[in-house]
Amino acid sequence: MGLSTHVLDTMNGCPAAGMAIALYSTDGDQATLIKRLVLNHDGRTDGPLFDNDSLRTGTYRLTFDVAAYFKARGVQLPEPNFLDRVSLDFGIAHADQHYHVPLLVSPWSYSTYRGS
């Protein structure tokens, strides 16, 4: 099961295909890049961010390049953008469980939750 994410573009009512994301491990104020990815046609990564064997307890950050995604779709954004990158800091307490971190996003707002 591991760790997964999914992004939905609530402005256009579709998956956020082509959005760039980055996954970091965190330790206090320190963040270490683990991987960078681009979301597929369904607004998901092609595989899990971590599979069952590589998921570890600890703290992590997912960063979503929201402004670049909306600009690429032709959305006129103010300068500076209201949202540039959205960073979600979260913890993995049970490495034997699946953690899904979805993002619902527009140029003006976002929400997340622990999905299944």
Q: Which residue has the tokens 């300068």?
A: 79
pLDDT in tens, 38-87: 999 999 999 999 998 999 999 999 999 999 999 999 999 999 999 999 99
Amino acid type, 98: H
Residue 47 is predicted with a pLDDT of 95
Which pLDDT score, from 0 to 100, does residue 1 have?
72
> Is the pLDDT at 116 greater than 90, yes or no?
no
User: What's the half-sphere exposure (Cβ side, CA atoms, 13 Å) at 110?
Assistant: 24
CATH number for 33: 2.60.40.180
- Res. 14 pLDDT band, cuts 50 70 90: very high
Q: Is residue 51 part of a domain?
A: yes
Our CA dihedral for 23, 27, 29, 32, rounded to 10 degrees, sits at -40
pLDDT tens digits for range 98-108: 999 999 999 99
Residue 32 pLDDT greater than 90, yes or no:
yes
pTM: 0.96
Q: Quote the number of domains for the chain.
A: 1
Is residue 6 annotated as involved in ligand binding? yes
Q: Which domain holds residue 30?
A: 2-109
